[in-house]
Amino acid sequence: MTPAAQPVTRETLTGKHTAVLDLAKIRADFPILDERIHGQRLVYLDNAATSQKPRAVIDAIRHYYEHVNANIHRGVHALSVRATEAHDAARETVRRFLNAADTREIIFVRGATEAINLVAQTFGRVHVGAGDEILITAMEHHSNIVPWQILCAEKGAHLRVAPIDDRGELDLEAFAKLIGARTRLVAVTQVSNALGTVTPLRQMIELAHGRGIPVLVDGAQATPHMAVDVQALDCDFYAFSGHKVYGPTGIGVLYGKQDLLRAMPPYQGGGDMISSVTFEKTTYNDLPYKFEAGTPDICGAIALGAALEYIDRLGMANVAAHEHELLDYATAKVGALPGVQLIGTAPVRAGVLSFVMDSVHPHDLGTILDREGVAIRTGHHCAQPVMDRFKIPATARASFAVYNTREDIDALVDGIRKAHEVFA
C-alpha cells in the first residue's frame, strides 16, 4: 500500500501559539546583537550553524564558575553537592524538553555528532552484520552519513538512501520500499539543515516499526524551531546539539529508550561509567552514567538547561509561529529577486532559506553581505550529497532564530541587490 501523503502541516509544527513575542525585549536578551560589523548593525542569519546565546545562558556559565565549580558524583563537600544537584536538574530540564519518560534516557554528549557516533559504535556494532542494511535519506547532514559508512565498511553492510524530489521533499513511497528484511536501523533527519525540509517523521517511524526496525532521529535542526515529543514520535533514539538551540558549544544530548540503552555496550571506558573495577572484571554503572565516562561538561549541561528554560518561558509554539512568519516573508522577498533561485521549496519547511544567484558564487555573495553586517552561511553545509542532487557546488543559506525580524530580512534583500549590481 502506498503511504499516505505527508501529513505534516504548519499547524502541527507550531501548535497553538498564545502570544505575540516582544521582539525588542527578546533582542535585548542577546548581548551580541549590539555588535557592529564593519560599522554596520549585526544581522545574524547563520542560526542553523550556531545560534546566539541569551543573557540567561551567559549568566548561568558565569554563575557556575563563580559559585558552583566542582566535580560531580564524587565529593561530599558543599561545592560538589551543589554542582551535582545543578547537573541533575539540567538533565531533568532536558527530559521535560523532549518529553522523555525518565532521566535515565537522557545521555549528555558533545553534540548530535557524538550522539550518532555513540549509537553507531554501540548499537550498530552489535546489531549490524555482513549483508545487513542501514537506511538514511538523501538530505542527511554528513554527521548522519559518515558514521554509518564507517560501520558498513567495518561490517560488510550496505547503506541505502531514500531519494528526494526536486522540491527537496522525501519520496515516502521509495523510502517505504527500501525498508527490507536486512534493514537493521533507520537513521533520518527531522529537519534538513541545507533545505529546511521537515520530514514526515511519524510516518517514517511507523513504517520502520511495522517491520520491527528501530529509528534514530537527527534532531539538531528541529529542536530550535518546534516542540519535540519523543514519546509521541515513538523514536528509539533522538540526537540534538545544545549550540543550535541557544546553549553553549560542546554539549548535546542522546535520548534512547531504556531497554535499548541497557542492552548496548559502553561507548567509552573511564571514571563514573563504572560501578566497580578490579583487574579481572569491571561492572558498569546504571543509566545514564554508563555512557558518560570521565568528567562531563558540567557547566555546559547546566547552561543548556538554562537555554531550554529560556525557550520554555517564551513558549515554543510562539517561537515556531514567529519563525514561520519570517520564513514566509523571506521566501517571498528573496524569491522575487532577479537571478535568484530558491533551493528547497518543500511546502513545509523550518528555519532555513537556501538559494543561488546567477553569475554570483555563494562565497562572493557571503563576502558582500558581510560588508553590510549580514551574516549568512555559504557552502555545501556539510550536506554535499544534497548539493550533488541539485547539481550545484554550494548555496547561500539564511537561517532564522527567535530574535530575527523582518528588518533583518530586508537587510539581507538589500545586500543581495548590491551583489547583483556588482556582478551585473
- Is residue 416 within 8 Å of 366, Cβ to Cβ? no
Q: Which cell numbers hold the place of 23?
A: 521582539
Q: What is the torsional sign of CA 239, 241, 247, 249? A: positive
Output phi, psi for 350, to 5 deg.
Answer: -145, 125
Is the N-terminal amide bond of 288 cis, ω within 30° of 0? Answer: yes
Structure-block grid coordinates of residue 171: 519520496
Angle between helices 298-314 and 55-63 (to 10 degrees): 150
* CA gap 133, 60 in Å, rounded: 44
DSSP string across 244-312: GTTS-TT-EEEEE-HHHHHHSPPSS-STTSEEEE-SS-EEEPPTTGGG--SS--HHHHHHHHHHHHHHH
d(CA 233, CA 216): 11
Please report the sign of the dihedral spanned by the C-alpha atoms of residue 267, residue 269, residue 274, residue 279: positive
**Residue 71 backbone zone (phi > 0: left; psi -120 to 50: alpha; other: beta):** beta
Of the candidates 152, 235, 299, 382, the residue annotated as catalytic is 382
Active site residue 299: no
Grid coordinates representing 61 are 556559565
Q: How far apart are CA 214 and CA 123, in angstroms?
A: 10
* Catalytic positions, written as ranges: 382
